[in-house]
Amino acid sequence: MLLNVYEPWKFAFSQEETDLNNVCENSWGILGIPFDSTSSYKTGSRTGPTVVREASFGFEKYNLELETELDTTFYDFGDINTIPGNCQKTCEIIEDTVKELLDNKIKPLIIGGEHSVTIGAIKAISQQYDNLTIIHLDAHRDLADEFIGEKYSHASVMKRVHEMGVKNLVQIGIRSSSKEEEEFVKSQYNIYSFKPKFVYDHYDELQYTLSQIEGPIYISIDLDVLDSSVAPKVGNPTPNGIFLHEIRYILKCINLDNVVGFDVVETATAELGDITAVAASKIIYDFLSLI
């Protein structure tokens, strides 16, 4: 059993064993992070890990759309103990817990929680992997240096990540940004941006770009990258987003053997069976089916 976790529920089809001495190397370990203390619009993503797990029981082990059996070895280690109101300390706990997984050759798959939780996960991973590329699916850039006076925030997560010295930051689905964030992107050589219209109209070009990424990859998916008609209950819903089949297409373009971490965050609902929770669960289900 990992330190700093408890087990409220398990994702469907996860292996039962959670003793780190008995798990398979190079497998995946799910961590829920029930934290939303910097949410600036809609709160509620602290309940995301529970409802996303519950929604997973609506899927079959055979993924008909991908025509593949979900036979990936993965474990659900439960939820990390967070400190409400203290984002920085919570990120430190996340970092320590993810390090524990990595030390046992287990890759982290995180269910949020607000997007700030990604900071702790990537900090742990970037210390083990050089030349890390971040593939970031989101409606927002999240590149503010600080937000409402806070350096650790859902709106500054990718600025903190970029400061860690990652190789590249690839942002997909962006359709909301401040002028300062746009100026920062233009000043950087290693930030690449694909707005929703590019995803719609330039599949081949996007496929080529993603397929050329070499080295370790971390994928971070904020549910608000989806159109609000598909995922309305997120921290900051934003119209004119992409759709689930496009996320599945993006995942298929990436060399998933190189992926060393994955998260789906900002599911802001406590309602079992909510369509936003089902969408988040479907993304995780497809990812596990593909790898």
DSSP 267: B
In sequence order, what E strands does 71-180 have?
Answer: 74-80, 106-112, 133-137, 168-172
Give me the pLDDT at residue 80, please: 95
Model pLDDT for residues 235-263, shown as the tens digit of each residue: 999 999 999 999 999 999 999 999 999 99
Give 5's Cβ-side CA count (13 Å radius): 27
Give me the pLDDT at residue 159, please: 95
Angstrom distance (rounded) from CA 17 to CA 222 = 29
Where does the pLDDT of residue 84 fall: very low under 50, low under 70, confident under 90, or very high at 90 and above?
A: very high
Angstrom distance (rounded) from CA 52 to CA 280 = 6
Rounded to the nearest 5 percent, the helix, strand and coil shares of the chain are 35, 20, 45
Spacing of C-alpha 199 from chain mean position: 19
Order the strands of the 259-265 sheet from edge to edge. Answer: 5-6, 74-80, 27-33, 106-112, 259-265, 217-222, 133-137, 168-172, 191-194
Give me the pLDDT at residue 41, please: 80
**If DSSP codes are grouped into helix, strand and coil, which group holds residue 221?**
strand
The one-letter code for the residue type at 2 is: L
The residue-averaged pLDDT of 180-206 equals: 91
The residue-averaged pLDDT of 199-215 equals: 89
For domain 5-290, give the fold.
Arginase; Chain A (3.40.800)
Predicted confidence (pLDDT) at residue 6 exceeds the cutoff of 70: no
Model pLDDT for residues 158-184, shown as the tens digit of each residue: 999 999 999 999 999 999 999 999 999
Do the strands 191-194 and 168-172 form a parallel or antiparallel pair, or are they unpaired? parallel
Give me the pLDDT at residue 18, please: 65
Predicted confidence (pLDDT) at residue 130 exceeds the cutoff of 60: yes
**Are the beta carbons of 268 and 235 closer than 8 angstroms?**
yes
DSSP 188: -
Do the strands 5-6 and 74-80 form a parallel or antiparallel pair, or are they unpaired? antiparallel
> Which one, of 172, 180, 133, 127, lies nearest residue 155 by Cα?
180
Q: So where are the chain's domains?
A: 5-290
Q: 187 Cβ partners below 8 Å, 6+ apart?
A: none
The residue-averaged pLDDT of 79-103 equals: 95
How far is CA 18 from each of CA 15, 27, 30, 264, rounded to the nearest angstrom? 8, 12, 11, 22
Look at 273 and 204; give whichever has higher pLDDT: 273
The residue-averaged pLDDT of 128-142 equals: 96
Predicted confidence (pLDDT) at residue 97 exceeds the cutoff of 60: yes
Is residue 8 left, alpha or beta, with left meaning phi > 0 and alpha meaning psi from -120 to 50? alpha
The residue-averaged pLDDT of 126-143 equals: 96
The residue-averaged pLDDT of 92-99 equals: 97
Predicted confidence (pLDDT) at residue 1 exceeds the cutoff of 70: no
Tokens 């829920």 belong to residue:
32
Q: Tell me the average pLDDT of the chain.
A: 92
Tokens 């997560």 belong to residue:
157
